[in-house]
Structure 1
Amino acid sequence: MTELKINPHFEDFIYDWDHTNYLLVGGYGSSKSFNTALKIILKLLSEKRTALVVRNTFETHRESTYALFREIVKDHLELHNQFNFTLNPMQILFPNGSKIIFKGGDSTEKLKSLVNISVIWIEECSEIREEVYHELKGRLRHPTLSLHTLLSTNPVSKDNWTYRFFFKDDLKDYFRLNDEELYEKRIIKMEDTYYHHSVVTDNKFATDKYIEALQETKEYDPDTYRIKFEGRFGFSGLRVFSQFQTMPHDEIIAKIRKIQNPSRKCGMDFGFATSYNCLVKLVIDKNENILYIHYEYYDKNKTDPETAEDLKDFAFTKELIKGDSAEPKTIRYFRQQGFNMRSARKYKGSRLQYTKKVKRFKKIICSDECPNVIRELQWLTFKKDSKGIIKEDEFSTDPHSLSAIWYALDDYDHIDLKGDKMKELTKESLGIW
């Protein structure tokens, strides 16, 4: 290699191959991608290996990872003329027979034919699905060489699988590492995983102007500052329910008992393989405009008879359940089993109207015995379109519990500030689907 000045914070990472997993979390411009690519090049020059580089979509490689490898080889390797870069198929052939191939993570079928992969780099790993990560781990095998997976990402929501898998998942009562400890120590080697945290000031080649631009976001966009400059997990974007809070179950039940004329609601969203059956029970304090969520049922991969068995108490109590009208056969089955289940209204624009209805509560208080509702709604954010404009009826994740809440509130009308009920929208005015 020609003379190459390495950022000191990455030197240990570049030459460490004692671990199976390497997770690099960092802010913008911290040089984590550059140093990951350099690490792979050095390894493949010293040993004949095949490395796989994955991004969520294949099309993004050409202007990012592929271009980065090409830049490093061209600018820093004296033997750069002996490398062969091809676009169809997209790969890099080394003088010693090593090879880097590039794939998209949006189709696991395209990954199943890969053989003798001993190094995998998942760039922007938070963008791929968790099942793709596990599929990739299954592709990692070689009869003689050590196996390594490198993951790099800008931190996003704590609901993302990357955080839940490598740090903690409250839903599964799983804990591996406190992310605050990583921010403090910067590098942590724990069992088979090497954790690395970096920020733009770790990059000795970042310009003062670029650093200042990132620092300025603290004044007008603290969420962006946390992600881009501090490189910390949290939540990303505009929260859907800023009034959402949790409470111990005993306390929430005590508050519910004190409500005069409480309005009790129950809603259910249906799923099976990829989505969940979710049922929630709500209590509304109309006078205080507070929504209490005190019960959840959340499961998948169960047939209607199996789910009905799980919820058989509802067939006994005859509590009204509002269900997803898109599943009339499921609702009919539950009714035949003795459940008091009815279809909730669905009409053009209902997602937006239902969301606004939920947002109108002064407080949304959820029992700590509803972990899935908490996981889905506490840090739920709106999606944005390609121009960065908020889409008020689309969200960062697919919250099944929110759908169940929508249906539960189907026939509930808020009281406006004058004490009058909201006028109920008619089918004709909304255009029923």
Structure 2
Amino acid sequence: MTVKEVNPHFEDFLFDWNQKFQFLVGGYGSSKSYHAALKIILKLLTEKRTALVIREVYDTHRESTFSLFEGIVNELEIDHIVRCVSSPMQIRFPNGSRIIFKGLDKPAKLKSINNVSLIWIEECSEVKYDGFKELLGRLRHPTLPLHMILSTNPVGEDNWTFRHFFKDDRQKRFVLDDKELYEKRTIVVNDTYYHHSTAEDNLFLPKSYVKQLDELKDYDPDLYRIARKGRFGINGVRVLPQFEERPHEEVMEAIANIHRPLKRVGMDFGFEDSYNAIVRLAVDTEKKYLYIYWEYYKNQMTDDRTAEEIKEFAETKELIKADYAEPKTIRYYQQQGFNMVGARKFQGSRLQYIKKIKRFKKIICSDRCENTVYELKPLTYAKDKRGDIIEDTFMIDPHTFSAIWYALDDYEVSDLKEKPKGRPQRARPVREERGLSDDEATSQGTSD
């Protein structure tokens, strides 16, 4: 076998098998996939093992992982003893080791594989979380230590890879601050070895390629963060960049100090996959600040059970503005003693509600409103086929956002861009009995 030169940042990784999980995350061209493949080949040359290489779609192996393994075998000049079989894709070693390639788009074919002691999930962020958990069940051997390598470019913080290996705010689960990994580059936490890499770590990368990555900063900051810096974050254009999470006590103190705060309650209905979401809001009409200080968020709840859980509203007669598309449900709550009415609906109301909320200078949310934070802090616009944002469509269905729309259906935030001279501009309520047309709403300053 020939002597193989490798990138220094990956030297320790190649021979470190002390942990069950090895999570590699990095930017484009960092050589993480190359060194994962090389690591597996070196292991299987010295130990008889069956390794399983996984991608979400089986057909993508041929031009990626299989081609990568084949190239390394040729570079090491071991192609006379290690056979790369193209149909079905498989790599066989002289000691009986083998590498099998599978895709999670054909999960039934995983069931026939036995004694797998090593799994590599390439582009693991593309794999579904259920697929990852299924693979954990396939990783078993009576005597050999078990290992799983996961490699990926970073994606959004809503991806399961971030929630599983770093933190999941919704589940109150914390493993590692990703910023610590970017600083230290390699970290071991429990039974997981973490490795971060960027283009600088690949000494064989052409300078022209690195220059292309640097140029992304000027026209695609999201891709620059992923491709050049190799960091997780929020992908896409944020709907509410002014959204902030604050300690509950701080939020309540701020509300208490507002002169005549405007308080509202909104409710969005849901059952199976969607949620019953209720929010309590307070508006500082002078500063144009929106405070969110209380939430209710549950699904698979019948109306009678929900009514019982939120009966405090029936007792206090607190006004609830609810989803106008559910008149039958609203009538039920009214019959149970709730002071509930449908929010206004008019042509273009969805887009106008979105633009209204965006005009608040700050949106400050209590840290007790965990579901509101989970939905709204990373909320981004969906994009069309050309890559342009769709102003009234998001990457998720944010039920708490809908509840906020309904709560503030009779309140108009003044346009902060155009203030008339000679007098202060104040927010003014829109008369509930009159729905605005698109042209009228636009004339009140809805441009962003």
Give the TM-score taking structure 2 as reference length.
0.81
Q: Is the 8 A contact 2:264 2:407 kept in 1?
A: no
| One-letter code aligned to 1:128 | V
Residues 356 and 190 of structure 1: CA distance in aligned 2, closer, same or farther (over 3 Å): same
Q: How many Å separate the matches in 2 of 1:346 and 1:136?
A: 48
Match of 1:267 in 2: 267
Match of 1:250 in 2: 249
Match of 1:102 in 2: 102
Q: How many Å separate the matches in 2 of 1:225 and 1:153?
A: 15
Residues 141 and 298 of structure 1: CA distance in aligned 2, closer, same or farther (over 3 Å): farther
Match of 1:214 in 2: 213
Match of 2:90 in 1: 92
Q: Is the 8 A contact 2:70 2:84 kept in 1?
A: no
| One-letter code aligned to 1:208 | K
Residues 99 and 228 of structure 1: CA distance in aligned 2, closer, same or farther (over 3 Å): closer
Q: How many Å separate the matches in 2 of 1:86 and 1:328?
A: 61
Listed one character per residue, the Cα deviations across residues 190-218 of structure 1 (whole Å, up to 9, x for unaligned) are 32110111111111111111122223444
Residues 136 and 401 of structure 1: CA distance in aligned 2, closer, same or farther (over 3 Å): farther
Q: Is the 8 A contact 1:108 1:135 kept in 2?
A: no
| One-letter code aligned to 1:117 | V
Shift of 1:223: 4.3
Match of 1:424 in 2: 435
| One-letter code aligned to 2:252 | I
Q: How many Å separate the matches in 1 of 2:208 and 2:145?
A: 42
| One-letter code aligned to 1:401 | T
Q: Is the 8 A contact 1:52 1:117 kept in 2?
A: yes
Listed one character per residue, the Cα deviations across residues 79-115 of structure 1 (whole Å, up to 9, x for unaligned) are 268524345x5x31414352312213x6867756654
Shift of 1:52: 3.0
The answer to whether structure 1 residue 63 and structure 2 residue 63 are counterparts is: yes
Mean CA deviation greater in 22-31 or 109-118: 109-118
Mean CA deviation greater in 283-292 or 16-25: 283-292
| One-letter code aligned to 2:119 | I
Q: Is the 8 A contact 1:45 1:94 kept in 2?
A: no
Match of 1:33 in 2: 33
Matched pairs, number: 426
Match of 1:16 in 2: 16
Residues 129 and 353 of structure 1: CA distance in aligned 2, closer, same or farther (over 3 Å): farther
Residues 134 and 346 of structure 1: CA distance in aligned 2, closer, same or farther (over 3 Å): farther
Match of 1:135 in 2: 134
* Secondary structure of 2:151's aligned partner: strand
Match of 2:379 in 1: 380
Q: How many Å separate the matches in 1 of 2:214 and 2:411?
A: 46
Shift of 1:288: 3.3
Q: How many Å separate the matches in 1 of 2:137 and 2:165?
A: 18
Mean CA deviation greater in 184-193 or 197-206: 184-193
**1:28-427 → structure 2 map (5 Å cutoff):** 28-79=28-79, 83-86=83-86, 91-95=89-93, 96=96, 98-104=98-104, 115-218=114-217, 221-257=220-256, 258-260=258-260, 262-272=262-272, 274-300=273-299, 302-324=301-323, 331=330, 334-344=333-343, 351-416=350-415, 424-425=435-436
Q: How many Å separate the matches in 1 of 2:300 and 2:359?
A: 34
Listed one character per residue, the Cα deviations across residues 226-248 of structure 1 (whole Å, up to 9, x for unaligned) are 33222223323322111112333
| One-letter code aligned to 1:38 | L
Shift of 1:10: 1.1
Shift of 1:263: 4.2
Residues 248 and 205 of structure 1: CA distance in aligned 2, closer, same or farther (over 3 Å): same
* Secondary structure of 2:365's aligned partner: strand
Match of 2:446 in 1: none
Listed one character per residue, the Cα deviations across residues 265-284 of structure 1 (whole Å, up to 9, x for unaligned) are 32224244x54443212223
Shift of 1:262: 1.1
**In angstroms, what is the RMSD of aligned CA positions?**
3.4
| One-letter code aligned to 1:233 | F
Listed one character per residue, the Cα deviations across residues 256-313 of structure 1 (whole Å, up to 9, x for unaligned) are 34242614132224244x5444321222333433221111123345554444333232
Unaligned ranges ≥5, structure 1: none
Shift of 1:22: 0.7
Residues 158 and 80 of structure 1: CA distance in aligned 2, closer, same or farther (over 3 Å): farther
Q: Which has the larger radius of gyration?
A: 2
Q: Is the 8 A contact 1:380 1:395 kept in 2?
A: yes
Residues 36 and 290 of structure 1: CA distance in aligned 2, closer, same or farther (over 3 Å): same
Shift of 1:27: 1.4
